[in-house]
Structure 1
Amino acid sequence: MNTDLLSQIIQVVFEGHLKYIAPFLFLLMITLFSQKLIDLMMGIFSKRKFY
Structure 2
Amino acid sequence: MKQVGIIYLFLFLSSSFYSCSQLVIFVVHKSFELVSLLLSLCDNQLLKTTRMIV
| Equivalences, count | 36
- Taking the aligned partners of 2:8 and 2:33, their CA distance within structure 1 comes to 39
Identity %: 8
1:4-43 correspondence runs (5 A): 16=2, 17-43=5-31
TM-score by length of 2: 0.57
- Taking the aligned partners of 2:32 and 2:6, their CA distance within structure 1 comes to 38
**Structure 1 stretches lacking a partner, 5+ long:** 1-15
More helix by share: 2
TM-score by length of 1: 0.60
Of structures 1 and 2, the larger Rg is shown by 2
C-alpha RMSD of matched pairs (Å) = 1.6
| 1:48 matched residue in structure 2 | 36
**Structure 2 stretches lacking a partner, 5+ long:** 42-54
- The runs of at least 4 consecutive aligned structure 1 residues that moved more than 6 Å come to none
